[in-house]
Amino acid sequence: MKYKLLTLSLSAALLTPIAPALANTDNAENMQLDQVLLLSRHNLRTPIDNTGILTEVTDKKWPAWDAKSGYLTTKGGALEVYMGHYFREWIDQNKLVSDELCPTGNEDLFVYTDSMQRTIATAQFFTAGAFPGCTIKIHHQPEIGTKDPVFNPIITNDSAEFKEKALLAMEDHLKGLDLKPGYDELDAILNIKDSQKCQTDKLCNLSTQKNSFIIEANKKPGVAGALKIGNSAVDAFDLQYYEGFPLDQVAWGMVNSADKWKKLNTLKNGYLETLFTPKIIAKNVAHPLLNYINKGFTSADKGETAKFIMLVGHDSNIASLMSAMDFNPYKLPEQYEHTPIGGTLVFQRWHNKSDKKDYVKVEYVYQTADQLRDNSYLSLETPPKHVTLEMKNCPIDKNGYCAWEDFQKVMKSALEE
C-alpha cells in the first residue's frame, strides 16, 4: 500500500485561470468514476461536556447517557452501518471497485481515522455495513485517545503577529453573527436566571456576556464565555434528539418547532465557524490534513493509491478544510448543523471518456435530523441527502463537475501559508 502518512510541506501555489466549459458531462455514459475520498465526521456520540459548566447554568437535571463522555453510541454505530451500506451500493453502481464481497487488495480500499474511540468505531461500523464479513484494517495511532497530528486542528504558528491577526479575525467573524435570538431561546430553556451561575457570577443573560478568544501554539483555537456555553448546551440537545430520547426529555421538552432548533443551532454553528473558519486560522490548522489529502488523492497518479479512501475526523476538520479551500456557502436541507453528525465530504475523481480529461465533483452526503432520530435505513432507494458543493476557484458545470487541473490548483493554494 503506497498511501501513507505524509510530510507537511508543498511548493508555492499556482495562479488559477478561468476554467473552460466542461465537455459532455451531461452524458452519463461518458463519465467513469475513478477514485473517491470521503472525509467524514464521526457518527452519534455522547455529549463531551455534560457536567461542569452546564450543571452551573441551569437548575434542571441533565439526562443520563449509557456511554462515556465523547464515545460513539450504540445507535451511532447502527447509523454508520446504514451509511456504509449505502456507499457500498453507490460504489457498486459506479463500478469503482471489484464486484467481490470483500476488497481484493490494498488498491481498492484504505481507511484512516483519528485515534479517538468515536472515530475508530465509526470506521469500524461503516466498513461492517459496506463490507460485511470482511476483515478491514482501520489505520490509526497505536494508542487510542491520543490525538493524531493529521486530524488535530491545533495552531502551529507561534508568532505574535499571527496571534494578533487570528484573534482579530475571530472577533470580526463573531461581530457578523446575529446570535441574540439563539441566546434568548437558550436562556429560557436553561432557566438561567435561577441558576448557580446567575447567583454567584451574575451570569443571568448569555447574550450580554463577553467572549474571550484564545490562540496558543500547539492548542486548538478556543473561547471562554457565552459562545462556549451555548455550543455545549445546544450540542447536548442535538444529541438527545438524534439518540431518540423521549421528546419531553429533549431540552426538557422545550424545543418543539423547527424555528427553535434553527435559532439554537446558530450558537453551535457560530462557535465552530468563529473558531475554525477565519482564513488565517483555517489554513494553519487544516494544513496537515490538506497535505495528506493532496499527496494521497489530489496529486497522486491513478493506481498509486486506493480507489476508495475513507478518512474519519471531526467537525473542526471539515469546517477548517472547507474554509481553506474556499468552498462557496452552502445549505443542508433538513439539517440544522452545518457539519452534521455522520456527514461526509465526498471528493470524486471522474474521467470523461469523450474528451479524455479528469474532473472532480464534491458532495456533502449526510443524514437529516429526522433520519438520525428515526434510525432510517439507507440505500440507493432510500438515500441520505446529497448537496453538490462548489469551490470559488473551481467553477462547476450544471452537473457539478469542475476541471481536475483547477481542483489541483485550489489545493495548492489552500496549502500556501
315 noted as active-site residue = yes
> In terms of Cα–Cα distance, which of 32, 24, 40 is closest to 346?
40
In the chain, the N- to C-terminal Cα span, in Å, equals 30
Pair 81, 126: CB distance under 8 Å = yes
370 noted as active-site residue = no
What cell numbers appear for 59 in the block?
Answer: 437548575
How many residues comprise the chain?
Answer: 417
What cell numbers appear for 236 in the block?
Answer: 447536548
DSSP state of 240: H
> In terms of Cα–Cα distance, which of 155, 143, 43, 110 is closest to 292?
110
Q: Which residue among the candidates 42, 139, 314, 351 is catalytic per the annotation?
A: 42
Q: Which residue among the candidates 114, 315, 358, 406 is catalytic per the annotation?
A: 315
Pair 387, 332: CB distance under 8 Å = yes
Q: Is the dihedral of CA 81, 372, 272, 73 positive or negative?
A: negative
CA distance 214 to 167: 7
Name the residues annotated as catalytic: 42, 315
